[in-house]
Amino acid sequence: MARIFISCRIFPEEVERLERAGHEVVMFPGDLIGREELLRNVADVDVLIVPLSTRVDAQVLASAPGLKVIANLGVGVDNIDLEEARARGIVVLNTPGVLSETVADLAFALMLAVARRVVELDKRLRAEGFPGWSFMPPHLGRDVWGATLGIVGLGRIGAAVARRARCFSMEVLYYSRTRKPDLEDELGCRYVPLDGLLRASDFVVLCVPLTPETHHLIGERELSLMKGTAYLVNVARGPVVDEEALVRALKGGGIAGAALDVFEREPEVHPELPRLANVVLTPHIGSATVDTRRRMASLAVDGVLAVLRGERPDNLVNPDVWPGKL
Ligand code: NAP
Ligand code: GLV
């Protein structure tokens, strides 16, 4: 029997699966746990299931001496101190794959919304009414179909974005840590170094994880390489972009616009961003559909149950630690 703490509400049937397997489960009944409450609750647990808004750093790990498994409700694991988890022999799980299509849908929604000025014009219509159809209105947008798309990070989500782009007759360029010849053949996309991708793309979509190498991957210099008519879409992690530099580029006309699902200091949003008309903002909703959140919860619980049975799950983030303290 393991003691499991879940630091946010998840679907009750998933909690029941853990309990039916004989484990003792405590679930924080809200969505955003406070730091003190978290530290109090981890003191005697074996397993921690967390949303990516729960920061599992060295202090949390030191407060949980019996911790053996962390399951992150998300694919990005930058909220977890992986080095410290490794040093303590703690197995870390995430939720890869089950959310890729849903996040790719959002990337397209954001691209279309910013290029066709959907949010800006919706707001204007509500405030001022519909002034009548005109041929040369001040609100002409840009085409997404047929444009050049640059994907930064051709992993699961990046590939799902590339698949959608084919249906929009887009030319797809990508930059990634490793080249993907199979995907180049399958999706008809072309590898280019990052600078070349930034210079050539009408839309740049960020799909990389946040790591020390990708922190501020897009800064002042990179933004200056982009076309003045181009848009930046970030569905990865906020700190991949230098937000101050982005605000300057947006205000100074360095790029045409940006659509952001993630922010450098979540849940803080840079105060200038909501004031800009050429920006679309969503509150980190990439995977936020009912079905996908069910799949994520289910995958996390599958992984925890497997680990507790002594089986190695597929969604292991740190295989070098396996089997850890189990
Ligand atoms: P993935 O399959 O691991 O893909 C990430 C890709 O980025 C891989 O192709 C990887 O290259 C590449 N990459 C890693 N470091 C790089 C670097 N320094 N330079 C260039 N490319 C690099 O992950 P995924 O499932 O697609 O998820 C990607 C990220 O999206 C997550 O880590 C998370 O931060 C974010 N995300 C956001 C939302 C949201 O709600 N907005 C939802 C889900 C995920 P290799 O192939 O060589 O490893
Ligand atoms: C969401 O941001 C995730 O990493 O799953």
- Our mutation pick for probing the ligand 1 site, out of 207, 260, 280, 295, counting the most ligand atoms within 8 A of Cβ, is 207
Given this model, what pLDDT does residue 325 score?
82
110 and 90 in one domain? no
What's 145's domain CATH number? Answer: 3.40.50.720
Note whether residue 326 is domain-resident.
no
The contacts of residue 182 (CB under 8 Å, 6+ apart) are none
Q: What value does the mean pLDDT of the chain take?
A: 98
199 and 124 in one domain? yes
CA of 209 to the centre of ligand 1 (A): 4
106 and 88 in one domain? no
Note whether residue 113 is domain-resident.
yes
Please check whether residue 203 is in contact with residue 152, taking contact to mean a CB–CB distance below 8 angstroms.
Answer: no
The end-to-end CA distance of the chain, in Å, is 13
118 and 84 in one domain? no
271 and 123 in one domain? yes
231 and 133 in one domain? yes
| Catalytic member of 17, 237, 270, 293 | 237
Note whether residue 205 is domain-resident.
yes
Note whether residue 195 is domain-resident.
yes
CA distance 145 to 168: 5
Question: Which regions of the chain are under pLDDT 70?
Answer: none
| Catalytic member of 23, 88, 270, 284 | 284
Neighbours of 269 (CB within 10 A): 16
What pairs with residue 241 in β-bridges? 218
CA distance 65 to 119: 48
192 and 55 in one domain? no
Given this model, what pLDDT does residue 110 score?
99
CA distance 281 to 274: 8
Model pTM score: 0.98
**Which ligand has the nearest atom to the CA of 300?**
2
Catalytic-residue membership of 237: yes
Ligand 2: residues whose CB is within 6 Å? 52, 74-76, 99, 286-287
Note whether residue 241 is domain-resident.
yes
Catalytic-residue membership of 272: no
CA of 38 to the centre of ligand 2 (A): 20
243 and 149 in one domain? yes
- The phi and psi torsions of 265 (rounded to 5 degrees) equal -125, 60
215 and 109 in one domain? yes
CA distance 31 to 27: 10
Angle subtended by helix axes 156-167 and 100-115, to nearest 10: 50
310 and 213 in one domain? no
Note whether residue 242 is domain-resident.
yes
- The range of the structural domain enclosing residue 293 comes to 3-96+289-321
109 and 257 in one domain? yes
pLDDT digits (tens, 9 = 90+) for 90-123: 999 999 999 999 999 999 999 999 999 999 999 9
Cis peptide bond upstream of 323, omega within 30: yes
254 and 114 in one domain? yes
Q: How many domains does the chain have?
A: 2
What pairs with residue 80 in β-bridges? 56
How far lies 26's CA from each of 18, 19, 68, 139, in Å? 11, 10, 16, 52
Catalytic-residue membership of 35: no
